[in-house]
Structure 1
Amino acid sequence: MMGVSGVIARISELKEQLGLNPQPPATDPAGGSTFASALADATGGAGRTGSATGSARSGSEVVEAAKKYLGTPYVFGGTDPDKGLDCSGLVQQVYEDLGVKLPRNSWQQATAGRPVASLADAKPGDVLAFDAPVDHVAIYIGDDKMIAAPKPGDHVKIQSVYEKPTHIRRILDDVPTAAVQDMSSLRPAGLRGAAAGGLAGVPYADLFMQAGAKHNVSPKLLAAVAKVESGYDPKAVSKVGAQGLMQLMPSTARGLGVDDAFDPAQAVDGAAKMLHGLLKEFKTVPLALAAYNAGGGAVHKYGGIPPFEETQAYVPKVQKALAALGG
């Protein structure tokens, strides 16, 4: 039977014959991560968790890719390195250079990959996110330093990690492919639940799962409401003053015990609490959705979905989003 070293040698031989000129594998006394790197590289990154579409990558490569953009001007909304980048534009561009697709916005990037418990556990290449709601991201390079596009008038530079990140996300992992058949077993429990619930890849999936379980509401329904209400934007404000991910009016938020409707965790929990009550009161999802949009009084007054243009459009939109999630 061919051992690990034999497999690695055979992979190298095949790649040489194909003219792929692989880089020499790093030394690994245990053989595990070297085997994973070699096999993942030969199979297009299948040995890594994360979103790599090309060869397997490492955190150190992320740091080196980020250093290429040092000095690039900060431009709000910038995604073109030749013109300028904002914080999330920098993070997205660096990972894109390595064949890894990340969402565009900082708050979305704060849900990518898997969580890291603390800065002490962070590794080079991890994404650091700041504030609640998240409004800034950077790439950790080690020794309490990060590469970031800080603010207008500034440029991409190396900084100290000046405050405790609210989220730390590991996009790339070294996982021995041969040792793992079901990669979902490597996800934290919250993400495993999200994947099992059909919310894999949905922003804030872990919050929908947690609030759904707490208040006995379908996580898919919560996700569908968030998609229609705000497009998963925790900073959204409507023309009538509804706020945050779940578009709660300030008075409604206070009644639900939500101190900050712009905090995704509070907003989702409050919306789940509200939907639980509406489902209990109106017995059906369409009527509960109509009440979420127009108020329970309007649903009672008209004996069904109120004849308001917005509400008449809102209910089928959420139902369509729910169906798209398999709900």
Structure 2
Amino acid sequence: MSVGVGGVLSRISELRGQLGLKPLETDPTTTGTVTTKPGVSGDNSFASMLAGATDNPAATTAGGGTSGNDVVAAAKKYLGTPYVFGSTDPGKGLDCSGLVQRTYGDLGIQLPRNSWQQAKAGQPVASMADAKPGDILAFDAPVDHVGIYLGNNQMIAAPKPGDHVKIQKVYETPTHIRRVVTDSADSAAVAAQNMASVRPAALSGSGSLAGVPYGDLFAKAGAKYGISPKLLAAVAKVESGYNPNAVSKVGARGLMQLMPTTAKGLGVGNAFDPEQAIFGGAKLLAHNLREFKSLPLALAAYNAGGGAVKKYGGIPPFAETQAYVPKVQKALAALGG
């Protein structure tokens, strides 16, 4: 089966990654143009190769009630999206690993970019007999393709150049099956294990959250409710500019701009107290992510209310909310989220 130039370049990138060499990445401004990844030094020392071979690379698992069926529902939103090598923007197209990363990202779960890295995320599943909806299926050695299992020997994937995101049979036995979310009672334990082993700096308020006001509180609240500390920080940045005493013209208060009735329902006695506000905001965002199974919709619900999102079947047509969602996403990207 011919995969074209894009497929060849993808395979080269995967092979280099497996060997611990500096990866090839697509230039984000020119689809199909291959460059070395900016900021990667080309250090091929044993230490760097060993770091690249560790399990659970750069994967933050949301937990917090997210299930495999939630992953499937999030993936199905992209059915029909054209395959575009190197793209993670569904407005332009998605490649196989871009689809997987974007799907989990919509649920607040951060996965690495490349398919060979995604084949190490989460926890291993022994065989297809044990696979569940939402599991990541990876193919070939070295890995050069990934999809999301739907059940009944079907998966959703972005197969190849000239094709599109679609549902297809699992055409061969995967070389790796990985479970990033679980429906069982130990989901919180799995999430804690992944987060502790992969991003201790972020959880302690240092590293990527160094210099961010209230970074330790964002980390603690994120760990408690199973969502990204960076997401909480991004919301606070947009809502109040990290001002714990902020009051909006409609009466929203504090760092996370909670309305008095909302704060009360969340158990927040004093919305001007940074710790109470952040934990209240984290609780609300975690609820929104579980309910709407989409980061943009969860943010829209945070701004306009869940009722408005349900009424309009998506981001409500309010100018404020339409502007709010991309603002938070931009702030999250600026934090490296």
TM-score band, normalised by shorter chain: 0.3 to 0.5
The structure number with the bigger radius of gyration is 1
| More relative contact order, 1 or 2 (CA 8 Å, 6+ apart) | 2
